[in-house]
Amino acid sequence: MAQTRRQFLKTLGLAAGAAGVPRLAQAQARKPISVIHSVSTFVYGQHLVAKEKKFFEDEGVTFPSFIVPGGGAKVVQALAAGQAMFALGDSNHPLKISEKGKDALMIFATDARCSYANIVVRKELFDKGVKSIEALADQKLVGRKAVVAATAIGSGTYVYGNYVLKQTKAPDGKPVNDHVEWVGGGASTTILGGLKAGKFDAIMAVPEWQWAAQDEGFGAPIYDVLDEKAWDRVFGGPIPVTVGYVLKETVEKSPDLVQAYVNANYRAQQWIKGASDAQIADLLHKPYMDTFSRDVVVRSIKYYKTIFDWDFIIEPKDYENGMKVWVPLALEKPIPYAQAVDMSFVKKAQAKFK
């Protein structure tokens, strides 16, 4: 017998409930949001997992796809202009937005160390004895004033690299940073090519560049952020490096959407914590990272899981550790924790998913 429309919808609702679809998503049309990050790699794995596992839908929100502009500066511009509602990116980005007069807030942190503060030196120099940051200041050993490449002058790699070299003293008592020349090295091909060709003596390296230089035999690390003692010596403890951020006006106008966004990401972080590296690669490799081999994706997952911040909380002391890095290279002056950070949404997410 043919069902009436009402009977059909009732049957569909019962089936959805039996399948475990949340009541919120059944009862209401999902609300549209827009979500942005610079590149779809595992440093932004919380976004990718939340999308693939349908955690956003479970929270009653939806978006067709991520906005992926290919650079952090473009993410900042899009969020500040209202072209995107939620962003995952470098912690100094919301601070820069606030500094320009439009308040933005960090609403969670996904990691506690900077994955691109690694320093890799030419293997030829490493073999000659340049096996520490201090040795970069030795012009006799290097053969010239050491040329150190960041992706670009003023970039995140430049900011963190400068801080590492400023915090490390050369044999003459001055910061190592006083003894080097900083240059822009560009992205993967040019920065690695420059190190291999001897154009650069050292580079700031994301994990994938560090592995490539080591595996191909033309570079060796002299500062590795996975070395906790080395990290703490320079930075004094954890830093919220990658954060979820949003305009303050969005928090005031649409707190329900902010909560939904935080819930989905927090749930994704807990799923990542409990999943095997292989399970995560199975979920993310083909849709987002198929330009890399599966082995590289698994290696990346393993790496980032060692620096992820599982509870998502930005502690005041960790924020202050970061502020020492960000001022004055990324920001003109400090911005108080209370003005820049809102942990209320994370705390509600923790309560919901404990």
Q: Which of 9-13, 217-221, 235-239 shows the lowest per-residue confidence on average (mean pLDDT)?
A: 9-13
Strands 35-36 and 61-62, how do they pair? unpaired
**Which DSSP string corresponds to 64-83?**
SS-B--SSHHHHHHHHHTTS
**Does residue 6 register a pLDDT over 50?**
no
**Does residue 206 register a pLDDT over 70?**
yes
**Does residue 17 register a pLDDT over 80?**
no
Tokens read off for 22: 């949340």
pLDDT band at residue 28, thresholds of 50, 70 and 90? low
- What percent of the chain is predicted at pLDDT more than 70? 92
- Compute the mean pLDDT over every residue in the chain, rounded to the nearest whole number: 92
Q: Give the bridge partners for 61, in sequence order.
A: 31
Tokens read off for 311: 């509870």
Mean pLDDT of 28-33: 89
Q: pTM (2 decimals)?
A: 0.88
CB of 335 within 8 A of CB of 95?
Answer: yes
Mean pLDDT of 3-10: 45
Q: Which of 183, 153, 151, 177 is nearest to 164 (CA)?
A: 177
Domains of the chain in start order, with CATH, are 16-112+239-352 (3.40.190.10), 118-235 (3.40.190.10)
Strands 61-62 and 202-205, how do they pair? unpaired
